[in-house]
Structure 1
């Protein structure tokens, strides 16, 4: 009887269209995430920033979601707030406008409901886009497993809270697929929206440059028409302009040339006592490596050395790993571009894992091995990681050490 039911279930599953299978996986994943949120709420203590027995709505509006809500309701300050020393304080200029205002439009008078709706819908569409990006590279079955890992992964809570990451990843996956298929025209619409959703568009500008170089080198095997050259150059220029435009807008509105970068640097004061007065590329990661070395009682140089090993290891993985190579050169070039971007601009802290979400296509590399035991084991690890992240960032939520 059980065998007959199992056989029938497998037959029905196989007969479902791809969109239907992804919908089932996504729905089940969201139910699991919801149960994790409910459990985290039941374990919340008075020392948590959410207090005792918070509701799911409190989590939707928690942490950085408050900033997006503020932007939607109040816009951006024309005068930068400052702290007692005169340094720029944390403020709304660190948060891009697209997600904030789209959520407001979707929720009408209830921004939180709109944010939840946008995150949920964008998450489902991102799963569809991920499968489309990967299926021709690693096969339909492995691509479906990649979708499952993505939907159930350690960062799956972001599908159900007021953060812009999932919308950005949706736009990114669409953009990567368009580039890989050489359908450059639609990118003129996608790039500006992506650039004003969250930081990271400058990494895409670097990726387009590397993509153009790759196509030029392979032009004998993969013809490179003049119109494609024009598109790649024009899109690279557009992406670069979009990438720096938010800094220009912030400077014009506030009258402060370094308004955006000073705002971003304000968050580093949560971690180090003497953040730099001006932004310097790669300085954040070096200082972060030194900071974490000091927390563990190690010499500063050991932290920097560990960072170097991490960077070299990531580079070798992207260049040499057979599983990563199967994803194709565009996914690898994007991953390398984004990691280099993070090294240049980010201070490593508790949000580091969340900021790795744009590397979502790499789930495909983890889905390549065909062992059933491996795949189910990795899915279980994803769920365990998701619970630990939700419990730490939302259940405990006690200090800046636990900022998602």
Structure 2
């Protein structure tokens, strides 16, 4: 060991005087080292020097470490090997030495220490070797199912996989990270996944739309997907398209479970609110909004559909609202008005006024001849004044 330390001191002097030959010196020293502890000391010294162009040496050292790792017997050797692997992963990631990706993945597969695996994954993300993105995605998908034997270890590995996929910025990496953000992990891991999502895709319209449409996922997960889309940096038209998908799914699905029906209702209400704010004008949403008005889970959903139709501002939307008002006029005439109907009529009339469409005039004029309160009649008069 004394001879080895002397060589290290000589090498360090050589690095100072002959910088261009420093990598060769360290390579020689590493090859001469006879224990894991000695190799770790050399790697730490090399890391401190910050020498450029050392990628081949790091890769050679990692390949040798992988060969020797299975035969290590003592705890001290295995701990030193773990430290070597973590340091090499960090050095290879910083050096962007892409050729090391194959050995870094072998580290993930063969080392037991979850921190070693995590560092190797993070380094792979920095290298962005195209052959390994799918491997990391599958690993995170598997971890999202929750490891049975050691959840804490699973969290550490998942953290590395999340950061790797953030760096890869592949659309296919979005959903596994999304599932991590909504999964079983502790708050730190979930928050990291949440923070990584915008770096993977600014506009996650495609993966989230597919999730919402799929029968493979639960309603609560679909609601989380819609909320994630709303919080994304995507353009308004992309958010509106996903809202249409979600509203369609909210009416396509059916369940007798009360809790699940509430979740479906929340999906529809958020979708409707998004349609209102992003002012979609596509007629495809008219039957969906009509159904929410007539069959919505609560008054909030019905009022939301009225507001969304008003925001559309089209003749077809005004015609549909007019039909709603005509139906309420008929109920008023039959003396069959509920408290909810009173709320709805007080929303529909101003909505028609704000749209200013002539098609609404007959329904608004008919209010005067029904037994509505003076307040409702005044609303109708004001709305008529807004129609040119």
Fold conserved (TM > 0.5)?
A: no
Rg larger for: 2
TM-score, structure 1 as length reference: 0.26
TM-score, structure 2 as length reference: 0.26
- Structure with the bigger RCO (C-alpha within 8 Å, sep 6+) is 1
